[in-house]
Amino acid sequence: MPPSICRSLAVAAFIPFSLVAFDAFGQIDWLPTSVEVVQLPKFCWGQFKIPNADGQEFKIRDCGPSANHYCQGLVYLIRSKGPAAKGKPLSLIQRADVAVAYTESGIAGYPKCSIREHVDSTRAEVNHLLRVYGGKPVGTKRP
């Protein structure tokens, strides 16, 4: 069976285990559902321990330890554009903004970071959504 089919089957097998975005105690709200996993870039799959996602394309490389927040931020960004936002996406966009800012700061000293361009495009999208919904990016001084 081709590797792409195996990976797709692994993602499908992951579905029953990820239908709820909370752990048993309701403390983790950034775990992606199966629907969100397929919207994430493949480099996030390793972080979320998707079955059979163990190749280099499933990892963030040469970015330092702070890059681990980026995929969590992407989950919030996905949710801000979906029904989870319940018509009020600003708080989810702000969570994504914090995660992206943390990642930007953390990868600054890693010029060969494998996700740098992705982070830059996500920053532009987050800034745009913050402007649309009346928010300010992290680090922006409020008047």
**Does residue 139 lie within any of the structural domains?**
no
Average pLDDT of the residues in 49-69: 92
**Does residue 141 lie within any of the structural domains?**
no
Q: How many domains does the chain have?
A: 1
Could you tell me which residue, 23 or 69, shows the higher pLDDT?
69
**Does residue 57 lie within any of the structural domains?**
yes
pLDDT at 36 over 70: yes
Amino acid at 55: G
pLDDT at 3 over 80: no
The answer to whether the beta carbons of residues 43 and 115 sit under 8 Å apart is yes
- pLDDT > 90 fraction of the chain, expressed in percent and rounded: 59
Burial class (CB in 10 A: 0-12, 13-18, 19+), 65: exposed
Amino acid at 57: E
22 vs 26: CA distance, rounded Å: 5
Nearest to 121 by CA among 41, 24, 15: 41
**Does residue 52 lie within any of the structural domains?**
yes
**Does residue 101 lie within any of the structural domains?**
yes
Global confidence as pTM: 0.76
Strand, helix or coil for residue 22: coil
What pLDDT was estimated at residue 1? 56
What mean pLDDT value characterizes the chain? Answer: 82
Quick one: tokens of 105? 């700061």
**Does residue 95 lie within any of the structural domains?**
yes
H-helix segments, 1-136: 3-14, 34-37, 70-80, 90-107, 116-133
Range of the domain at 28: 3-133
**Does residue 53 lie within any of the structural domains?**
yes
Instruction: Of 24-33, 46-55, 117-126, give the range with the top mean pLDDT.
Output: 117-126
**Does residue 143 lie within any of the structural domains?**
no
**Per residue in 88-118, pLDDT tens?**
899 999 999 999 999 999 999 999 999 999 9
47 vs 16: CA distance, rounded Å: 18
